[in-house]
Amino acid sequence: AVSSLPALSDCSTTFVFRLAAPMALRHLLAVAVTVLALDMAAAGGGSAALGVNYGQVADNLPSPQAAAVLLRALNATKVKLYDADARVLSAFAGSGVDFTVGLPDNMVPRLASDPSAAATWVRSNILPHLPATSITAVTVGNEVLTGSDATMLRSLLPAMQSLHAALAACNLTSRIAVTTAHSLAVLSSSFPPSSAAFRHDLLPYITPLLAFLAKTGSPFLVNAYPYFAYKADPGTVDLDYVLFEPSAAAVADSATGLRYGNMLHAQVDAVRAAICAADYGRAVEIRVSETGWPSQGDGDEAGATPQNAARYNGNLMRLVAQGKGTPAAPGEPLQVYVFALFNEDQKPGPASERHYGLFKPDGTPAYDVGVKAPTIKGLKGSGNGDGNGTGSGVGMVVGEGPAGADGFAVGPGGLYTISDATHKVRRWRWTESLAAMAAVLAMVSWS
């Protein structure tokens, strides 16, 4: 038997397991493993992981429960937030989705100057959601090193170190990485990929940051958008090349002989070359923390169409599903986070900034990416759902194929309401609990 477990509300919590009946434990372990295997088979657990950015700069988004349904349809098992929204993290409890959460820019100087602020942030934003919700990384700020604030530049690494220390005090550094996301503007050049290097003015900040990532086993995150290259020079840049089309002419790196069939891989390998030049090439994993294509733009934003967005993200998803790496690291499957789940109507800047979503706020696809997804009907979308099926999402009707293509029992015509989706989340929680118990029991030896 297992003793009652206290809530994970502070770093002094310990777990005590009392063994009582060896045979009962064996039976419980067998049941847990069987249920977990069945659930993985039903969910298609063997496919490659897809990451999606869940931005919320909008006033018309559906509730987190609706987002959970859409992400499930995409087979997305990794989600990146730009904050640590408690509503979202609670709604996904037990889902098996791995979250990267964000510490906002305005908190970076505070964590750098006051280590106790990091401990407070962890207690408030991380611990209440563990272990029900899987949090695997925290990003400290976003594209800080390509900003113009000198205080932010100096504060970034100390803030990351403070947060890592706060997580270490809770014995969480083995499961939660501390990192930060960069734009490609940290590079002084990016082509050919093998010649890329970091900007000289940023080396005093990037070199120790790479040392931190290598020491802690944390990934280097890059926001890479081939769209920007095409938008800047549509007359020269081959559209098929930036859209992952098989018909695109490959571009060769004369120094290495490697051939690139798409621009994203070339951009990632440019970052890889820059890291290698700083002598951290093999110790730091590279992940694409953002990439995407807008489905609409202003008149001077070439290529921002639903057709191109569908081609980019559809081809990207298929590439991720194949588990392929880049030409410079073919044996290392590239982890990618698509930007973004929803169109965000309150983002500033050109029209394209408000049209990167895979879905519109009413839950309908912004375009067809060749992935079967549910449609959400009858949703006004206030963005104020409480995450428990009692807000604006109540009664939302979702269609997911004939008679429930996801393997769950549904109502007439293959439709179910958001309250049924909440039951799915509870089922996820049960499965996750069994999985966790199986892992614990597997580590316990008995005669």
Known catalytic residue at 143:
yes
Return the ∠ at Cα 282 (arms to 279 and 283), rounded to 5°: 90
**Residue 342 gets which letter from DSSP?**
B
Candidate list 290, 301, 344, 432, residue with the active-site label:
290
In this structure, the number of other CB atoms found within 10 A of the CB of residue 231 comes to 20
Give the helix ranges, DSSP H, for 322-417. Answer: none
Rounded Cα distance between 276 and 291, Å, is: 23
Query: Which residues make Cβ contacts (< 8 Å) with residue 408, sequence separation at least 6?
Result: 416, 420, 424
Residue type, 382: S
Whether 432 is catalytic = no
Cβ(292)–Cβ(363) below 8 Å: no
Could you give the CA distance from residue 14 to residue 395 in angstroms, rounded to a whole number? 41
201 token code pair: 């003015």
Distance of CA 195 to the CA centre of its chain: 29
Residue 361 identity: P
Helix, strand, coil % over all residues of the chain, rounded to 5: 40, 15, 45
CB 282 within 8 A of CB 210: no
Main-chain phi, psi angles of 262, to 5 degrees: -155, 155
| C-alpha distances out from residue 348 to 37, 143, 288, 351, 354, Å | 45, 17, 23, 8, 8
Hunting for tokens 């590079």 — which residue is that? 187
d(CA 277, CA 286): 15
CA 393 remoteness from chain centre: 24
Dihedral sign for Cα atoms in the order 89, 95, 96, 97 = negative
Tokens linked to 382: 């206030």
Cα 27 to chain center, whole Å? 36
CB 145 within 8 A of CB 108: no
Peptide bond into 119 cis (omega under 30): no
Residues annotated catalytic, as ranges = 143, 290
